[in-house]
Amino acid sequence: MIPALYAPRVEKLRSAMRAAGADLFLCDHAEMLHWLTGYTVSETFYRGCILPLEGDPVWVLRAIDEVPCRAATWVRDVVVYADHEDAHACMADILRRFGSVRIGADFTSFGFTAFTRDRLSALLPGTDWVNLHEISNRIRSVKDAHEINLVAQAAQIADGAMAAIAQGIAPEMRARDASAIAAQHYLTHGADDYWVGPISIARRAAQAEGHGMGFLHATFTEDRLAPGDILHVELVPRVGYYAARFMRSISLGQASAEDTAIMARIAALQDAQFAAIRPGVAARDADAILREAMLSEGLRESYPNITGYQLGSYAKTPRSSETMVSLHPGADWRFEQGQVFHLYTTARGLALSETVEITADGCRRLTRTDRRILVAAG
């Protein structure tokens, strides 16, 4: 029997399979594996779960991962192979159990590479592969109450970690010292791991001409903080694989009147975006509220990036953000109740963002730190 938490997810996927004419679905996307089965693992060797339209699913993975898989998943049929065996051949053997069928897969999944497609096609001649395009991310867009609760727990940890950094950072410390403060807070307050997020000295980090966003994803340097510096902090803690994210700027000493005014205006413009978001609103319209105001007021010279993207679970994959469902001028989707987003903006070396939940009435912040430049107590 499928547990109550997973039954709606399985039926949602099976509905998509029926619509596409697929008899089986080969799930090899790390985050979708967790969403669908309760377990995920990095692709050291090829692995995945086979879901038929009727009957029980089958997990296929390396033998060393069998015990943690069985401990976490509701799927009873777990087939394993030794590391010296051919993982794709093992998967093909299990797929043959289901006879001559149309096999659905997400061709945009990091697991379903061109090599995997070609190898399985060679092992299963005559198989008709059905592309359920981008389903691994889009099907998980609307979160259930369990998922939102995990994001909310992560948001609480993020708020606490930001406060700990603001309290503990001081001149002569480095960005990595701020990261160490956050990592300790993460681990002692229930986060999955110590992956903190990008932290940099904003106006000494690499700056991209025109939009000044080089500090957002800058790597650590050994530069020491000095009075008057702005520390950029983005925190990304996970609980049960589900992440919250938010950004603040922390001033070493009292922030200048100019910076304080810029941040207040950024917050007001983003608040207007938040106020406009509710179920049914077009994503491109919500994006335009912030984007056009930032440009028209001269806070940005250009705006090449998105203004938000959906949040969810994050496993060990090449991608650290889910940008298939994101806010930009060409976004052709509408907000739905139960979605969770990281909405963000930056200007002149300052950054502001929140984790938000789309409710029946609008847009609710899950991160609660004051929306201003924070001042380092150190």
pLDDT per position as a tens digit, 65-104:
999 999 999 999 999 999 999 999 999 999 999 988 899 9
Two tokens, residue 150 = 């995990």
Which residue from 175, 199, 215, 197 is spatially nearest to 346, judged by alpha carbons? Answer: 215
Q: 219-236 b/e with 16+ CB inside 10 Å = b?
A: eeeeeebeeebbbbbbbb
Predicted confidence band at 210 (pLDDT cuts at 50, 70, 90)?
Answer: very low
The pLDDT of residue 204: 62
Which pLDDT score, from 0 to 100, does residue 211 have? 52
Please state the pTM of the whole predicted model: 0.93
d(CA 139, CA 155): 23
Q: What is the mean pLDDT of the chain?
A: 94
At what angle are helices 145-168 and 175-188 packed, to 10 degrees? 140
pLDDT at residue 205, as a whole number: 53
Instruction: Look at residue 241 in the predicted model and tell me its pLDDT.
Output: 96
Q: What angle do CA 232, 236, 237 make, to 5 degrees?
A: 135
Annotate 75-110 with b (16+ C-beta within 10 A) or e (fewer): beebbbbeeeeebbebbbebbeeeeebebbbbebbe
What are the backbone dihedrals phi and psi of residue 235, each rounded to the nearest 5 degrees, phi first?
-110, 140
> What integer pLDDT is reported at residue 282 of this predicted model?
98
> For residue range 167-199, what is the model confidence (pLDDT) as tens digits?
999 999 999 999 999 999 999 999 999 999 999
When pLDDT is cut at 50, 70 and 90, the band that residue 165 belongs to is: very high
Q: Once rounded to an integer, what is the mean pLDDT over residues 269-298?
A: 98
pLDDT-above-90 percentage for the chain: 89
Query: Is the pLDDT assigned to residue 209 strictly greater than 90?
Result: no
Find all residues with CB under 8 Å of 294, minimum gap 6, and list them.
266, 269, 300, 303, 345, 347
Q: Which whole-number Å values give the CA distances from 260 to 255, 264, 373, in the listed order?
A: 6, 6, 7
Q: Tokens at residue 57, please?
A: 């699913």
Q: pLDDT-based confidence at 221, cuts 50/70/90?
A: confident
Looking at residue 326, its amino acid is: S
pLDDT, one tens digit per residue, over 310-342 is 999 998 776 667 777 999 999 999 999 999 999
| Predicted local confidence at residue 321, as pLDDT | 73
- What is the pLDDT at residue 290? 98
The pLDDT of residue 317 is 74
pLDDT tops 90 at residue 19: yes
Q: For the segment 347-359, what is each residue's pLDDT rounded down to a tens digit?
A: 999 999 999 999 9
Separation CA 323–CA 134 (nearest Å): 11
Q: What domains, with CATH codes, occur in the chain?
A: 7-138 (3.40.350.10), 145-375 (3.90.230.10)
Q: How many helices (H) and strands (E) does the chain have?
A: 10, 17
